[in-house]
Structure 1
Amino acid sequence: MTSTDRPSRGELMARLHTAGRELSTAAVMFHTALAQLHGLSATEEKAIDLLQRLGPLTARQLGEQSGLAPASVTGLVDRLQRKGFARRVPNPSDGRSVLIEAAEGPTEALAPHFADWTVALDGLCARYDDTELAAIVDFLGSAAALQREATTRMTAASPGRAAPVAETVLGRGEKLTLQTAAHGVVALMAAADPGAFSSARAGIAGGKALSAATGLVGRVLAEKPKGMKLGGKSTADLADQVFPALAASVALLRDVDPAEAENFRAVMRIAVEAALQTRDGRSPAMAAMAAKIAAALDDGD
């Protein structure tokens, strides 16, 4: 290839930016798919990767490595601990702090998904000599550092807004919990009054309240529930499904964004009130069910 055949610096830079964006998109899609298989968000899965590669970290160190704001790290670790993928342990070098470490069993389940990808990557590396690989390593490491700095700048510039954007990706199982709780509330209110006509009216009124929900809660409830199985032989069977899901939903959303936990509670109260109004509040059975639902919502605290 002659000098006139070589691409210019500008052309190479354009190709590099395009290749970088393609790699970034492919990586996000891969890790999002992997995370969903295990009931995780992409942020949670990457945090596990950091803990596996770097070993136990303090919350501050995890924030530095991920670029997340401190408030986001706290919620992130709470969710990973609740799901069994990480745990807090005493810091042997500083009794005033704790370390976050990956839980071996659950995190090992992620490893097989990387096997084929690792083999293919090793094959790609064989195309380059040691000098070229050293240059690639330097570039990728430096690019990662620059991106962490960019993440930190975003979260620092908008602390009230950036954290929720990073943390509102819920796994399939978490969405199903919210959907089970919300649709279950409507089903319980409809089942509380055995009359066919009143049950239908209560169900329709409650369903309309769910469809009017906004925010993260509204987006989750607008999705078609996949795998949701509500019911049983009795109202008691239904309650055994719904009440734990209500408490779990409040706890989950409080970790993601406290405002969304209150949003969820408000939506549930509106749905209950809408069902009550179909009988003008004159159904003792529905009123008793409404009180039980309110108690279940408070159990998330």
Structure 2
Amino acid sequence: MTRAGKPTDQPSDQPSREELMARLHTAGRELSTAAVMFHAALAQLNGLSATEEKAIDLLLRHGPLTARELGEHSGLAPASVTGLVDRLQRKGFARRVPNPLDGRSVLIEAAEAPSEALAPHFTQWTGALDALCERYSDTELAAIVDFLGSAAVLQREATARMTTSRPTTPGTGATFEAGTALGRGEKLTLQTAAHGVVALMAGADPGAFSSARAGMAGGKALSAATGLVGRVLAEKPKGMKLGGKSTADLADQVFPALAASLALLRDLDPGEADNFRSVIRTAVEAALKTRHGGSPAMTAMAAKISTTLDNA
């Protein structure tokens, strides 16, 4: 038998190159699936996503890291890294610290106590892996190390291509706007939060004329929004029901939607989360200006909205 015009010296019972490649691809997919399921289970036990858990692993092995370095190790885009670090810091698994070598930048480091809670889950797994390695000679292990290291580089490059390029419509190759990444229910959450804030500001000031002016000013501010947030708010809300018997009833509906909107956008695109905050603050300020800085009731409502934006 020949391959590429050259005779082969493999034994007759040795699988062919094609058969070995097929087995390699199958084994690789099985290992990948097993690894994903392992890390997903480990992450879930600790209230993390699989991406967050692996980021902690990178920080423990290579950290402290700059955001750029964490992006290089993970293959994630800069905006995705920012949101990832925000979530880890909020959950207490990482923190930003001054960079002693560059006062203009910060480092991200794993928080010791929470991160060490992950370690026991690896003990049995790494022990079994060490036992498996005893099957192979040093030369064979060197080849395995070379293959796995090279495969990891290729995997990070594939991740980087997906996280830095614009998404495409499946099956067509055509690009689509980021707004289509949100489902109807998610869009409704953003719309309820934004229009609800305007309704709260308008309802906080007694008097039909004052309420109408505040509502119109806040609504105009929402209509000037840009980006993903602007596209969502420009759509006609379908199924949005704002109201209740009192301002407190409305607040019980709006404030959870406001916090949920920021969490949703932060995971999707941290830049759009900042955009949403800016849009809401602009709408609140526009409503306040209709009363030359706002009545005491409007000012108090604006403070509650601002606190929610800061804490979400």
TM-score by length of 2: 0.57
Q: What's the counterpart of residue 257 of structure 1?
A: 268
Cα distance in 2, alignment partners of residues 297 and 11 from structure 1: 63
Q: State the Cα deviation string for residues 199-251 of structure 1 (Å, max 9, x = none).
A: xxxxxxxxxxxxxxxx9xxxxxxxxxxxxxxxxxxxxxx99x99986565344
Deviation at 1:37, TM superposition (A): 1.0
Deviation at 1:254, TM superposition (A): 3.4
Q: State the Cα deviation string for residues 152-207 of structure 1 (Å, max 9, x = none).
A: 12222227999x9xxx9xxxxxxxxx9xxx9xxxxxxxxxxxxxxxxxxxxxxxxx
Could you say what secondary structure the match of 2:102 adopts? Answer: coil
User: CA 1:48–1:129 in structure 2 vs 1: closer, same or farther (change >3 Å)?
Assistant: same
Number of residue pairs matched by the alignment? 209
Q: For the Cα contact (< 8 Å) 1:48–1:85, is it kept in 2? A: yes
Could you say what secondary structure the match of 2:108 adopts? Answer: strand
Could you say what secondary structure the match of 1:299 adopts? Answer: helix
User: CA 1:99–1:31 in structure 2 vs 1: closer, same or farther (change >3 Å)?
Assistant: same
Larger fraction in helix = 1
Could you say what secondary structure the match of 1:5 adopts? Answer: coil
Q: What's the counterpart of residue 309 of structure 2?
A: 300
Q: For the Cα contact (< 8 Å) 1:79–1:252, is it kept in 2? A: no
Q: What's the counterpart of residue 95 of structure 2?
A: 87
Query: In the alignment, which of 43, 47, 56 is matched to residue 55 of structure 2?
Result: 47
Q: What's the counterpart of residue 131 of structure 1?
A: 139
Q: What's the counterpart of residue 152 of structure 1?
A: 160
Query: In the alignment, which of 71, 89, 106 is matched to residue 63 of structure 1?
Result: 71
RMSD value, Cα: 4.0
Higher relative contact order (CA 8 A, sep 6+): 1
Cα distance in 2, alignment partners of residues 51 and 244 from structure 1: 35
Q: For the Cα contact (< 8 Å) 1:84–1:103, is it kept in 2? A: yes
Cα distance in 2, alignment partners of residues 70 and 159 from structure 1: 16
Q: What's the counterpart of residue 141 of structure 1?
A: 149
User: CA 1:27–1:242 in structure 2 vs 1: closer, same or farther (change >3 Å)?
Assistant: farther
Gaps of 5+ in 1: 169-177, 183-214, 216-237, 266-290
Gaps of 5+ in 2: 1-9, 169-174, 183-188, 194-231, 233-248, 278-299
Residue 27 in 1 paired to residue 35 in 2?
A: yes
Q: What's the counterpart of residue 280 of structure 1?
A: none
Cα distance in 1, alignment partners of residues 116 and 255 from structure 2: 29
User: CA 1:252–1:151 in structure 2 vs 1: closer, same or farther (change >3 Å)?
Assistant: same
Identity %: 71
Deviation at 1:151, TM superposition (A): 1.0
Residue 99 in 1 paired to residue 107 in 2?
A: yes
